[in-house]
Structure 1
Amino acid sequence: MINSLPLFHRVAGQPVIVLGEGEAALAKRRLVERAGGVIVGADDTAARLAFVASEKPDAVAAELRARGVLVNVVDRPELCDFTTPSILDRSPVLIAIGTGGVSAGFAKALRLRIEAFLPQALGRLAERLGTARGAMRARWPDAGDRRRALDDALAEGGAVDLLAAEAADRIDAWLEGADAPAGAVVEIHLRSDDPEDLTLREARLLGSADLLVYERTVPAVIVDRARADAARLVLEPGAMPPSAEGLAVVLRR
């Protein structure tokens, strides 16, 4: 169960309260400054975020929270309104890894593992896709077609495989030659109720589906692996899955 909603909060030019001394407080100051935030004291009434790094944070955290400030207390997850993830930076691509405050060391170790195989050119690819947005809209006016075309292109072995160092240089050729993906209905027969038993292909299909059709007995933990904005439809016993213009994934037990 997810107990936190991951968000990227823009703080550039905004006041952020940082309280405390020592290395923990300095680390939070560096984090805020790196994001362009303006560090202020506890009396700044315009601030909406606060980091507290002190031995006895309970009273000041409660006071700030009573003012409507979201508070992060170092090493006290029970006092935190938000936690800070371990950040993998391939600007403008940011990958945030969090554990809900359970273990910052675990999040850091996982980030270092992931960082080892992500190319430095990942940020350049994202920037090129951003500048090509108009061309993609012209090529595929329908948002669903555009999303599916991009999913196919960025996938492993795709025209602009996102892990390929030269992917950014392939975008123009891809736009000139790619066709809109055809609609498809793919059935997945679950082997167990454990989402870890999904194959990589099945997980990718769930993450790309425009429509998710599933039997009532399919566990929510597997249904939740689909895109949050994918349409959902419960498949009644004996019913046939609907046809789809995009990618429809049918989950059966």
Structure 2
Amino acid sequence: MHSLPLFLRLQGRPIILLGDGDAAVAKRRLLERAGAAVVGEAENATLAIVAIDDAGGAQAAVARLRARGILVNAVDRPSLCDFTLPAIVDRDPVLVAIGTGGASAGLAKALRQRIEAFLPANLGALAERLHAARPRIRTRFPDAADRRRAIDAALDPGGLLDPLAHHDADIDQWLAAAKEQPPRTIHIRLRSADPDDLTIREARALAQADTVHLIGDIPPAIRHHVRADAAQIEGLPPTEPLTGQTVILEAAV
């Protein structure tokens, strides 16, 4: 992973913008849409965008800004960038960001257009209803692990809160019907070291597992599919009953 994606709250924050061409106009529009206060080079800020057409002028501006400890994005100059700006799918408050590390803005745009086509317009409303229901969800599922598994099941394809179902999900109906998810163990035997050979079901199981037992030499690219806060244990699980969702992940022969 060449970069760590972050979502920055820019409301009222000063962001330096240098340049006066079409690229600068587009970046100003994006920054103002996020609520940032666009300022000049003389102002204090922690981030800057350099949209200067002249290569020498852009490089000099980046050097001046970096000397002040400011993180810089230089438009169309990936080698000068401390951060890049992704293509964005906006279903406020849900945001999907697609980045290529500056390798191809065209590819990022094409992916954004594909993703926009199948994300429902009411996806943001679902997020807001889930947020408003947090106290009731916590009451219904006081244990954090049980709560996460119940929400995962509801958001799964075909679940009552399936985010891609293009309908107004009923949180009350889900809470009335929701049950603690029973413990289950899933055995995945890899067919190769290529993560693209994982089925959708296998990738989802790794992403939702509470514990993953690793048998053999599991490639890093496969391990990256395991959610970050899941326990990863080398070797077979104990014989006593397991809790939550356990995945036994066995390397390809």
TM-score by length of 2: 0.95
Percentage of identical aligned residues: 55
What's 1:66 paired with?
67
Aligned positions of 1:163-174 closer than 5 A: 163-168=164-169, 170-174=170-174
Q: What's 1:219 paired with?
A: 219
Residue equivalent to 1:107: 108
1:240 Cα shift? Answer: 4.0
The answer for the alignment partner of 2:50 in structure 1 is 52
Segments of 4+ in structure 1 off by > 6 A? Answer: none
Q: State the Cα distance separating 1:213 from its structure 2 match.
A: 1.6
- 1:248: how far off? 1.3
Q: Write the mapping of 1:69-218 to structure 2, written as runs, cut at 5 A.
A: 69-168=70-169, 170-218=170-218
Instruction: Tell me how far 1:249 sits from its aligned partner.
Output: 1.2
In the alignment, the residues of structure 2 paired with residue 210 and residue 51 of structure 1 have an alpha-carbon distance, to the nearest angstrom, of 41
Counterpart for residue 26 of structure 2: 27
Q: Which runs of 5+ in 2 are unaligned?
A: none
Partner Cα separation in structure 1 for residue 59 and residue 99 of structure 2? 23
Aligned-pair Cα RMSD in Å: 1.2
SS at match of 2:72: strand
Displacement of 1:159 after TM fit? 1.3
Query: 1:42-101 deviations in whole A, cap 9, x for unaligned?
Result: 1112x1010001123111111111211110000110110000000000001000000111
Q: Can you give the 5+ residue segments of structure 1 that lack an aligned partner in the other structure? A: none
Aligned partner letter, 1:25 = A
SS in 1 for 2:118: coil
Shift of 1:165: 2.2
- Letter matched to residue 215 of structure 2: E
Secondary structure of the equivalent of 1:39?
A: strand
Structure 2 Cα separation of the partners of residues 82 and 207 of structure 1: 27
**Cα distance, 1:160 vs structure 2:** 1.2
Q: Deviations over 1:14-65 (max 9, x none)?
A: 00000001110111101100000000001112x1010001123111111111
Matched, 1:252 2:250: yes
Match of 1:43 in 2: 42
Alignment deviations for residues 125-177 of structure 1 (CA, whole Å, 9 cap, x no partner): 00000000011000000111111100100110011111122243x21111011
Task: Report the AA paired with residue 38 of structure 1.
Answer: A
| TM-aligned CA distance change 1:35 to 1:176, over 3 Å | same
Further displaced range: 26-35 or 57-66 = 57-66
SS of structure 1 residue aligned to 2:127: helix
Secondary structure in structure 1 of the residue aligned to 2:26: helix
Deviation at 1:216, TM superposition (A): 4.1
Q: Distance in 2 between matches of 1:214 and 1:108?
A: 37
Deviation at 1:180, TM superposition (A): 0.9
The answer (yes or no) to whether the contact 2:87–2:112 under 8 Å persists in 1 is: yes
For 1:100 and 1:134, locate their aligned partners in 2 and report how far apart those are by CA, in whole Å: 39
Instruction: Give the SS at the match of 1:137.
Output: helix
SS of the residue aligned with 2:101? coil
**What SS does the corresponding residue of 1:16 show, helix, strand or coil?**
strand
SS of equivalent residue, structure 1 residue 57: helix
Any idea what SS the aligned residue of 1:175 has? helix
How many residues were matched structurally? 247
